[in-house]
C-alpha cells in the first residue's frame, strides 16, 4: 500500500517534469510510461486513466503551495505571501498551472489553502457573510494574473505597440492613441503584481470598514 502510493508519486513526478520540459501536449500515457521505464498499460492501476492523471497533476501542484503557508504575521503579510507563492508556482510550472481552471482540486490541501485566505479576510474585518465571495474574488484574480503571465497573455500585442495601433484609422481607437506614451513602456510584472496586491488590500479594507 505504501509502495502503491510511492509508485503513484513517481508517475506524477514524471508527468509534471514532462509538462515542464515539453508542454502539456507532450504528457501522453506513452511518454510518461517511457519516462518511468515501464509499458503504458502499467500506469493504469496507479493513476486510473489519462483524465485522472491530469487531476493528480493538479493535486501535486497544490501540494507545493501548502508548505509556504504561514500562520504568523499580520493578515496582509499572510495573504500577500500566499498570493506570491501562487504566482511563483505558475512560473515554475506554467503548463500544468492552467489546469487549475478546468480541474479544480478538492483535496484536503486545497481546503487548507482556502482556509488560510478565509482566516486572513476574517482578521481583516470582512463580515463573515462576505468572506466566501471575497475569497473567490481574490483567488480568481491571483489565478488569472499568474495564468496570464505564464501564458504570455499580458504581452499580447505589446511586443510591438506601434504596430498594434498602426493598423487603425485615426481616432478609431482613441484611448490607445491618448495612452500612447504609457503603452510604449515595457511591462514590469513584478511591480505590477505588487501594485495589484496593494489595490486588493485597499479593497478588502474598504469592504471591512463599510460593514463595520
Contact partner at residue 195 from its own copies, DNA, none, CB < 5 to 8 Å by partner kind: its own copies
Asked if 41 interacts with DNA (CB under 7 A), we say yes
Q: Which of 26, 4, 3 is nearest to 15 (CA)?
A: 26
Residue 45 binds which of DNA, its own copies, none (CB < 5-8 A, kind-dependent): DNA
Q: Alpha-carbon distance 7 to 11, whole Å? A: 6
Return the percent helix, strand and coil in the chain, to nearest 5.
75, 0, 25
Q: In the complex with its own copies, which residue's Cβ is closer, 4 or 159?
A: 159
Site of interaction with its own copies (CB under 8 A): 98, 100-102, 104-106, 108, 110-112, 114-116, 118-119, 122, 128-129, 131-133, 136-137, 140-141, 143-145, 147-148, 151-154, 156-157, 164, 167-168, 172-176, 178-179, 181-183, 192, 195-196, 199, 202-203, 206-207
Contact 126, 134 (CB under 8 A): yes
Please, what's the largest Cα pairwise distance for the chain?
69
**All residues at 6 or more sequence positions from 193 whose CB lies less than 8 Å from its CB, including other chains:** 83, 84, 87, 145
Hey, which residues between 1 and 40 contact DNA (CB under 7 A)?
3-4, 7, 27-31, 38-40
Q: Residue 48 or 128: which CB sits closer to its own copies? A: 128
Q: How far is the CB of 35 from DNA (least distance, A)?
A: 11
How many CB atoms sit inside 10 A of residue 93's CB? Answer: 20
Amino acid at each position: 500500500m505504501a509502495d502503491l502510493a510511492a509508485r503513484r508519486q513517481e508517475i506524477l513526478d514524471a508527468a509534471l517534469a514532462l509538462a515542464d520540459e515539453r508542454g502539456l501536449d507532450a504528457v501522453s500515457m506513452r511518454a510518461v510510461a517511457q519516462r518511468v521505464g515501464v509499458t503504458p498499460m502499467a500506469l493504469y492501476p496507479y493513476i486510473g486513466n489519462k483524465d485522472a492523471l491530469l487531476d493528480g497533476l493538479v493535486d501535486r501542484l497544490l501540494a507545493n503551495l501548502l508548505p509556504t503557508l504561514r500562520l504568523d504575521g499580520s493578515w496582509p503579510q499572510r495573504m500577500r505571501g500566499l498570493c506570491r507563492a501562487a504566482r511563483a508556482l505558475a512560473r515554475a510550472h506554467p503548463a500544468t498551472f492552467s489546469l487549475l481552471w478546468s480541474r479544480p482540486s478538492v483535496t484536503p490541501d486545497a481546503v487548507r489553502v482556502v482556509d488560510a485566505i478565509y482566516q486572513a479576510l476574517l482578521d481583516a474585518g470582512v463580515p463573515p457573510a462576505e468572506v466566501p465571495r471575497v475569497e473567490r474574488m481574490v483567488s480568481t484574480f491571483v489565478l488569472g494574473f499568474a495564468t496570464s503571465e505564464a501564458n504570455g497573455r499580458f504581452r499580447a500585442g505589446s511586443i510591438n505597440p506601434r504596430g498594434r495601433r498602426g493598423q487603425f484609422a485615426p481616432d478609431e481607437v482613441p484611448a490607445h492613441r491618448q495612452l500612447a506614451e504609457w503603452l510604449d513602456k515595457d511591462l514590469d510584472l513584478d511591480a505590477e503584481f505588487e501594485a495589484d496586491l496593494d489595490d486588493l488590500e485597499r479593497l478588502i479594507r474598504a469592504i471591512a470598514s463599510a460593514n463595520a
